[in-house]
């Protein structure tokens, strides 16, 4: 059997087998590191400002502060990448016949200033690239469904398309009596999608 993966911002990935991978960026550990990074970046900016004013803040101090910021960036980067790698290997280990994901418009999302930071920190592009490599390694067919495919709006039970589904509707309720978590409904639709490209 195959599986569908619905990628999102609330949770990172919802898999059609019922497994949910949380958004690691919402974890206390990462939030704490993010705050620390902001503090250190402000501190670096102040040091530069003082240098412009002609105060003799030593260049060595600036260098040290820069290094601090870089190390924090790297640490955040490593944690996120590690999480992606673990998620992918866990999904692939279930040996599905195919995996279906949506062709996300990442560059479009990045243009939306309300979303860009959240999208960047989820590393969707990296996820897809690595997933492709892993699928090739394990002989799993990776299917890509068009971003226009209404995976969230379609009832997995009867196929009815709910055009007025809002983003705030976290539960999908259909007139046919089918009730399911919105993202799981999307993942099931992706799994069973008939129209796709093979990556």
Residues designated catalytic: 6, 102, 183
Buried b (16+ CB within 10 A) or exposed e, 52-85: eeeeebeeeeeeebeebbeebeeebeeebeebbe
Tokens of 45: 């900016």
CA torsion angle 89 92 77 105 (round to 10): 180
DSSP state of 168: T
CA angle 79, 28, 69 (to 5 degrees): 55
Residue 168: Cβ within 10 Å count: 6
172 forms beta bridges with: 180
Closest CA to 72 of 115, 130, 29: 29
Q: Are 178 and 156 in contact (CB under 8 A)?
A: yes
């Amino acid at each position: 059997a195959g599986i569908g993966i619905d990628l999102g911002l609330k949770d990172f990935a919802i898999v059609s087998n019922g497994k949910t991978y949380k958004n690691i960026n919402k974890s206390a550990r990462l939030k704490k590191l993010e705050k620390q990074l902001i503090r250190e970046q402000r501190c670096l900016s102040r040091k530069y400002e003082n240098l412009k004013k002609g105060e003799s803040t030593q260049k060595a101090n600036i260098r040290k502060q820069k290094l601090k910021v870089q190390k924090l960036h790297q640490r955040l980067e490593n944690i996120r990448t590690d999480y992606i790698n673990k998620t992918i290997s866990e999904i692939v280990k279930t040996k599905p016949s195919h995996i279906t994901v949506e062709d996300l418009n990442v560059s479009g999302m990045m243009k939306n200033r309300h979303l860009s930071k959240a999208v960047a920190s989820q590393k969707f592009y990296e996820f897809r690239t690595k997933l492709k490599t892993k699928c090739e390694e394990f002989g799993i067919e990776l299917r890509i469904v068009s971003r226009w495919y209404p995976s969230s709006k379609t009832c997995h039970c009867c196929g009815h398309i709910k055009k007025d589904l809002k983003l705030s509707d976290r539960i999908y309720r259909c007139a046919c009596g089918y009730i399911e978590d919105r993202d799981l409904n999307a993942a099931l639709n992706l799994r069973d999608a008939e129209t796709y490209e093979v990556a």
